[in-house]
Amino acid sequence: MGTMDNLESNSSTFMTEMKETAFIMQNVSQRSLIVMDELGRATSSSDGLAIAWSCCEYLLSLNAYTIFATHMENLSKLATIYPNVKILYFYVDIRNSRLDFKFRLNDGPKHVAHYGLLLAEVAGLPSSVIETARSITSRITEKEVNEMEVNCLNHNQIMMAYRAAQRLICLKYSNQKEEAIRQALHLLKENYIDVKL
């Protein structure tokens, strides 16, 4: 896969990557051996993940033998959907924020928190840049956690309203006497206020 701009064709890194990926996708067969490294790295995280995921699914549908190298941990979820996906990782020993590459292939997914920051530090980025990046990533993570909590809260409120509506519809079409319906409505109101639905 291309890792640089192609000035001759006026193509950015991402455009070069997409052209090469398109060539692979248009010429692949069940007899192909495909090796892809870091597909989707030259665009936004969400677009890159979406492209990488859909390319994986396309290649899986063709039963083409594919080796797909990536740092996108979400792609390992493909193994829970497709039985012919095997997840492997290269072992890295991490001690005192130092990376020792062992070049040993192990089974299963591997999560290394802030691997990119560790690698940037090993590469020699100034410590002030690394510390700023750590601060930024912790704020991003905190924001994502807060958004997840808000989404859960919204989901719970929607589900509670849905359950209340279901019970109201059941009461509307029930054959119970007026007093029983009145009691059921009163109980429904209390449960809704007490968030017990």
Residues 94 and 194: their CA atoms lie apart, in Å, by 49
Collapsed DSSP state (helix, strand, coil) of residue 149: helix
- Has residue 32 been placed in a domain? yes
- Has residue 21 been placed in a domain? yes
Q: Are 25 and 18 in contact (CB under 8 A)?
A: no
- Has residue 38 been placed in a domain? yes
- Residues 69-72: contacts with CB under 8 Å, at least 24 apart: 69/35, 69/36, 69/37, 69/38, 70/37, 70/38, 70/39, 71/38, 71/115, 71/116, 72/40, 72/48
- Has residue 178 been placed in a domain? no
Residues 30 and 100: their CA atoms lie apart, in Å, by 37
CATH number reported for the structural domain that contains residue 9 in this entry: 3.40.50.300
pLDDT in tens, the chain (197 residues): 445 666 666 678 888 889 899 999 999 998 999 999 888 887 888 898 999 999 999 999 988 899 988 888 888 888 888 888 888 888 888 887 677 888 898 888 887 778 888 888 888 899 999 999 999 988 888 887 777 777 767 777 777 888 888 888 888 888 888 888 888 898 888 888 887 76
- Has residue 2 been placed in a domain? yes
For the chain, the domain total comes to 1
Q: Are 25 and 58 in contact (CB under 8 A)?
A: yes
Strands 98-107 and 88-95: antiparallel
- Has residue 18 been placed in a domain? yes
- Has residue 184 been placed in a domain? no
- Has residue 155 been placed in a domain? no
Parent domain of 69: 1-88
**Whether the model pTM is above 0.75:** no
Rg (CA), the chain: 26
